Chain A
Amino acid sequence: MAERKIRVLVAKPGLDGHDRGAKVIARALRDAGMEVIYTGLRQTPEMVAEAALDEDVDVVGLSILSGAHMALVPKIMDLLREKGLNKVHVFVGGIIPENDVAELLKCGVNAVYGPGTPTTQVVEDIQVAVLGVHA
């Protein structure tokens, strides 16, 4: 059997146009040997869920710097659940106020990363969540 690759969807939902962070994360995950489906800007929650399903990803990474996270993320989590994608590891990065982090975790997000989070942290968390091992 071939080696298992971790497949990650990286998306920027909503109207936020600042994609440097998403690209940095995508690069870091690629350098850690993962296959990153980069869907780019202006993704609707429906587009994110559809891509997550069709690409059978292990992980969904959402980058939001526009402040619209409370409007977008719960909707995305609902759609993922609706499609039966309960085991997907979801992380959110960008500008997320402390007060909202707990809310996001409550609606099923696995990790929230603020600015300055080392990419190694993101990589490690994914590897633990998906492979169950510290790589």
Chain B
Amino acid sequence: MVNVEAILQGDRRALAQLLTLVENDDPRGAEALDQLFPHTGKAHLVGITGSPGTGKSSLANQLAKVYRKPGDGSAPRRVAVVAVDPSSPFTGGAILGDRVRMRDLSGDPGVFIRSMASRGALGGIARATAAVVQVLDAAGYEMILIETVGAGQTEVDIAKLAHTTIVVEAPGLGDDIQAIKAGILEIADILVVNKADLPGAENTMRALRASLELAHPVRHLDSLKAGHAGSMKTTDISQAEDDLWLPPILLTESPRAVGIVEVTQAIARHADYLHRSGEWEQREQNRLRSELDALIQAQLVARWRNSVPPSAYDQALEALYNHQISPQQAAGNLVKEQ
């Protein structure tokens, strides 16, 4: 039996151990999740996604630092970071290297960093990431940053999990056509162009802005003016729109912590928008529905697997290989078996 009380009281070791149980699909983990569920729903879940090498971990590190030391008089918030890295499709192993970028956060009891391997999931996060996030939410972490596998264009599962999804770009990774392709840009609530000191940052911003304009043709977006000597204005008209959220495009340089406070402000504005517009509720409900459907599916398959003798399955396969029955017929027969 997992000591759920201990976790609610802030026992770090119990928390870390429960995360492992949950990740491994251990029934004790599921049981603990049942008890912890009433304590969830308080955290703001922020997804950070984008191509490999754009600086997601570095950004997460800097964002966490601001949440811990707000500098605007507001109270520090407890931050959890869940960093997902890809598992080898051949060996099943993984190198989880995101902590390397977050050394500034070590020693702070208000920060919890957990690395996860994707374990074969293809959407950018692991299957257990949602459950891990729930545990951290119940344990009292108010901001939960979820850093996805360095994603390409279709790893968009994070959008179903997070309230706010940040897509991180870097200069020089593609042109205008690249920017308008479907996929990852569609899920962005906030766009960040990191490594803004590199040449091409301007062009990247322009391409992204053009892409947004195509998506929202009736809106007039302010033109971007590059600042002199370090000051940079960014495109952000979301404040003017109460009924619609247009993703702001923000420039950052993670290592020098340039532009980071602006990102936290955009995150806060997005949270306000979600609450005001009722979308927060909507996303929560969508998330819970997805999770319910996934669990039902998993349980039904498990139940079926237990009810069908392996020989029946093998016989169906044999008949299928010999082209005596079609795949549909084979499936129909097997599912009827119970």
Contacts and interface: CB of A to CB of B under 8 A. Distances in A.
Classify the secondary structure of A's interface with B: mixed
A55 B114 contact: yes
Given A30-B93, A54-B16, 18 more contacts: A1-B27, A2-B119, A3-B92, A5-B24, A29-B93, A30-B88, A35-B115, A36-B93, A36-B95, A38-B99, A38-B100, A42-B103, A51-B106, A53-B13, A53-B16, A54-B113, A55-B114, A56-B19
B95 A38 contact: yes
B26 A1 contact: yes
B94 interface: yes
B119 A46 contact: no
Nearest to A1: B25
B97 interface: yes
A53 B92 CA distance: 23
Contacts of A47: 103, 106-107
Interface in B94-126: 94-97, 99-100, 103, 106-107, 112-115, 117, 119
Interface of A: 1-5, 7, 26-27, 29-40, 42, 44, 46-47, 50-51, 53-56, 83-84
A36 B92 CA distance: 11
20 contacts: A2-B23, A3-B24, A7-B20, A27-B95, A30-B93, A32-B91, A35-B115, A35-B117, A36-B96, A37-B99, A38-B96, A40-B99, A44-B106, A47-B107, A51-B106, A53-B12, A54-B12, A54-B114, A56-B16, A84-B13
A32 B24 CA distance: 18
B325 to A, nearest CB: 32
Chain B CB count within 10 A is highest, among A3, A33, A56, A84, for A56
Contacts of B113: 51, 54
Nearest to B96: A37
B105 to A, nearest CB: 10
B95 A56 contact: no
Contact of B112 (A3, A27, A54): A54
For the complex of A and B, 8 pairs with smallest distance between CB atoms:
A30-B93, A56-B16, A40-B100, A2-B25, A33-B92, A33-B93, A56-B20, A47-B106
B297 interface: no
Nearest to A30: B93
B13 A31 contact: no
A40 B25 CA distance: 29
A26 B95 contact: yes
Contacts of A2: 23-25, 119
Contacts of A29: 93
Contact of B88 (A26, A31, A56, A83): A31
